[in-house]
């Protein structure tokens, strides 16, 4: 489905986020998915995963994002999903309605966190499915996958309250490596925000280097923030 086949980073592999990421227990993707889906048995109750598993999930996801291009070239059929903003029940209802991976392919356009009360569950389930089915789930970065934004709008506080500031920083390292744009069937250009007057060639997107912090202006800022002035 993607521009090129990507290696699946499996549960039994060790840490791989770089020297800054400490060693820990092996990543158990199936356990993470199972526990997150168990929410449906007790709706309204937060799912508390081991922090070490979340950190490993972020580290491995970061590696996988970096192995894929900044401009994803995808094939149909796939379901394109917009902002979730921590609305975990909405995500589960969405999966129930259109199908779960790998039976249904997805492109998420970002803004997984902030505002809603269950940002951790929301982003962790999508990351876990991305790790388990890397050619079925694709994730783009939204403007809220930025430390300067989710520091204010809820995700930082959720991480601090439920786990630690250190975990929030681990998510930041992961978010800084998300791709920005997807091209579906060479016809549909998808991004979280909109087009930029600085964009003249798609190669400009391909050449962007990661990890990437979002600047206050320019191409990257526009791709994440721009809204049309008129229809």
- Tokens representing 4 are 């090129």
Nearest Cα residue to 225 out of 191, 198, 177: 191
In angstroms, rounded to a whole number, what is the distance separating the alpha carbons of residues 192 and 98?
21
Active site residue 144: yes
Residue 226 neighbours by CB distance under 10 Å:
16
- Helix, strand, coil percentages in the chain from 3-state DSSP, rounded to 5: 40, 10, 50
- Tokens representing 155 are 């995700």
Vertex 96 angle, CA 119 and 194, to 5°: 55
In angstroms, rounded to a whole number, what is the distance separating the alpha carbons of residues 59 and 63?
6
What is the torsional sign of CA 8, 14, 63, 167?
Answer: positive
In angstroms, rounded to a whole number, what is the distance separating the alpha carbons of residues 169 and 103?
33
Inter-residue contact 111 to 85 (CB < 8 Å): yes
Options 85, 144, 192, 200, the catalytic residue? 144
Nearest Cα residue to 188 out of 173, 202, 168, 177: 202
Catalytic residues: 144
């Amino acid at each position: 489905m993607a521009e090129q086949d990507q290696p699946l980073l499996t549960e039994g592999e060790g840490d791989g986020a770089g020297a800054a990421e400490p060693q820990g227990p092996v990543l158990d993707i199936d356990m993470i998915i199972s526990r997150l889906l168990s929410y449906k048995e007790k709706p309204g109750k937060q799912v508390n995963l081991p922090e070490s598993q979340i950190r490993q999930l972020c580290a491995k996801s970061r590696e996988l994002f970096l192995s894929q291009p900044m401009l994803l070239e995808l094939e149909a059929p796939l379901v394109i999903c917009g902002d979730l903003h921590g609305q975990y029940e909405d995500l589960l209802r969405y999966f129930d309605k259109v199908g779960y991976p790998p039976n249904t392919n997805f492109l998420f356009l970002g803004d997984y966190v902030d505002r809603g009360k269950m940002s951790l569950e929301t982003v962790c389930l999508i990351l876990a499915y991305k790790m388990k089915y890397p050619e079925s789930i694709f994730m783009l970065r939204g403007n809220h996958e930025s430390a300067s934004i989710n520091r204010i709008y809820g995700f930082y506080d959720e991480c601090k309250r439920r786990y630690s500031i250190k975990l929030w920083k681990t998510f930041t390292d992961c978010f800084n490596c998300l791709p920005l744009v997807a091209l579906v069937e060479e016809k549909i250009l998808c991004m979280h925000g909109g087009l930029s007057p600085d964009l003249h060639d798609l190669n400009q997107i391909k050449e962007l280097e990661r990890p990437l912090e979002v600047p206050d202006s320019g191409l990257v800022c526009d791709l994440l923030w721009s809204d049309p002035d008129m229809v």
